[in-house]
Chain A
Amino acid sequence: MAVINLKNRQIECKLVYYGPGRSGKTANLEYINKNFSKQVAGKMISIDTEGDRTLFFDFLPIGLGKIRGCDVRVQLYTVPGQVKYRATRELVLRGADGIIFVADSLAVRREKNMMSLKDLHENLKKMGLDIRRIPLSLQYNKRDLENTGLPIMSIEKMEKELNRQLKVQSFPTSALTGEGVGKTLTHTIKLILAHLQKEFKWADGS
């Protein structure tokens, strides 16, 4: 839930990276932390277990400076993707203003992607939110593995299986090389700000 302070002209919103275990959510944040140092507004906090699996969440605050007269800050979070951490996912998702769903392009993770999307859908519903209404983008991650001979799903196939009904913007990405990481982030933040504008009319000249 965004905190909007019209008097100080500040907006703080929450963007959550969601997706199955090992799909690259933490890697997204790590890439942003390393490569967008101008925007990074604080220390990245990761709480993980052995083998780098996220246990509770990762957190990275970024600042975008002034946008239409308002100082915009975004808190990035990742959820733990492992199925058994359902309760924690729900907790971290609470109050999200937008979501980036990180799907794994590895063919062996096909079903996990779909299950995780369903889990997102259900968790949002529990909070009285509609997956078709909340600012959302999709990432088809690990595209750097394309053309290596390894079993990677085609974009078309992923689009059909994950995005046929949602019809949101999707991005082929690699959280390792950084391809598409910034693009997904910028696009989703734009969605969030537009959504908040409709609700709160925060921007100048409106």
Chain B
Amino acid sequence: MDLISKIKLDFKEAELYRSQGLLDEAIDKYTAIEALIKANSNIRQRKSLLAKIASRIDELNKKMKRISAPTPPPKVSEDAQTLMKEMFTYDDPEAKGSSSLGGAIALAKFGQYDKAIEELTRLLEYESLRVEAAKNLLSCWIQQNYVEYAVSLFQKWKKTRFFPPEELAIVLGHFQEVLAAAGVTREIAGVELQKTIEPDSEINDEDILDISATKFSLPGGPRKGERVEFEVSFQSGKYIQIIIPKKEKDLINGLNPGNMLKDIIFYSPAAIFSGTGFLSSKKAIEAGPKRGDYSFSIKIIDIKS
């Protein structure tokens, strides 16, 4: 192919990329043509060609800049908002009302904050949804940079005892996480959790074997009374830790600090023994691959056999 035909074809290619919005590819191609022309001094209309290419590249660069500039998500039509909500109506059909929560969260994810806030505020009224609704509500405000408002909202909940202390602690944990992620350092007056007084353990740390798993009846929640076995993820003397994945909501809701586990069984590589355990803490994991899962620590109070 002679030089002129090659340049013509290259031009056609660059123009195609440009018209299809393939900006990087178009810039690359124009730049290559530019180099080719510059290397050949005997091309007719060389100057005007180079000028045209330069203006194309300039225009493309400007467009790239515009497109990559961070812009707040646009507010979309009511139709589209309804659709966003309905896209998630199949979420967890078991739990009543959770579809509307899924819808509200979807609205927030799509940046439709006003509508999401409206929905989430409504969902605060439902006992089973209010923690998730509150968490997402705070996120919505923070994402729009209304830090002070979010803080005042949280403080209102705290002051009016809108949530039981356990739930408030979960909301607070999430709130702190969201603030940290947004790079905001702001003191939120901490929440005093009603301290549970731990019963004393009869045993010495040295006397406790390594425990690899444990089994006990769930003290509360929808599956109350069911015997469930858990792997022990960590042990420090008479405290063992178990982790429950976030999707196991029934288990998580059924276990709360202060619970006495009267029929607990401990499995160690050498022996199995039964005894009493005390659920001393419950925490949502805030970072890492297990983020959102819950860790519980159980204090071994006594061992019977």
* Interface of A toward B, CB cutoff 8 Å: 1, 3, 22, 43, 45, 47, 49-53, 55-56, 59, 87-88, 91-92, 94-95, 106, 108-109, 145, 148-151
Contact = CB atoms under 8 A, between A and B. Distances in A.
A151 B87 contact: no
Contacts of A87: 109
13 contacts: A45-B80, A47-B74, A49-B74, A51-B67, A55-B73, A56-B80, A88-B109, A88-B110, A91-B110, A106-B25, A109-B25, A145-B16, A149-B12
Interface of B: 9, 12-13, 16-17, 20-22, 25, 63, 66-67, 71, 73-74, 76-77, 79-80, 83-84, 87-88, 90, 106, 109-110
A22 B17 CA distance: 10
B21 A45 contact: no
Q: Is the interface of B mostly helix, strand, loop or mixed?
A: helix
A45 B79 contact: yes
- Name, among B12, B71, B80, B83, the residue most crowded by chain A CB atoms within 10 Å (CB to CB): B83
Contacts of A108: 17, 22, 25
Given A87-B109, A108-B17, A149 B79 contact: no
Given A1-B90, A53-B21, A151-B13, A91 B83 contact: no
Nearest to A151: B13
A143 to B, nearest CB: 14
Given A22-B21, A56-B110, A150-B12, A50 B66 contact: yes
B68 to A, nearest CB: 8
Contacts of B71: 49
Contacts of B83: 45, 59
A49 B67 contact: yes
B67 A53 contact: yes
Nearest to B68: A84
Counting chain B CB atoms within 10 Å of each CB, the highest count among A50, A52, A53 belongs to A50
Contacts of B79: 43, 45
Contact of A150 (B16, B21, B66): B16
B113 to A, nearest CB: 14
A3 B93 CA distance: 11
Contacts of B106: 91
A22 B74 contact: no
B109 A91 contact: yes
A50 B67 contact: yes
Contacts of B74: 47, 49, 55
Given A150-B13, A151-B13, A22 B73 contact: no
Given A56-B76, A87-B109, A91-B106, 11 more contacts: A47-B74, A56-B80, A56-B84, A91-B87, A91-B110, A92-B87, A94-B87, A94-B88, A95-B90, A106-B22, A109-B22
A92 B77 CA distance: 18
A114 to B, nearest CB: 16
Nearest to A77: B87
Contacts of A55: 73-74
Nearest to A3: B90
B20 to A, nearest CB: 6
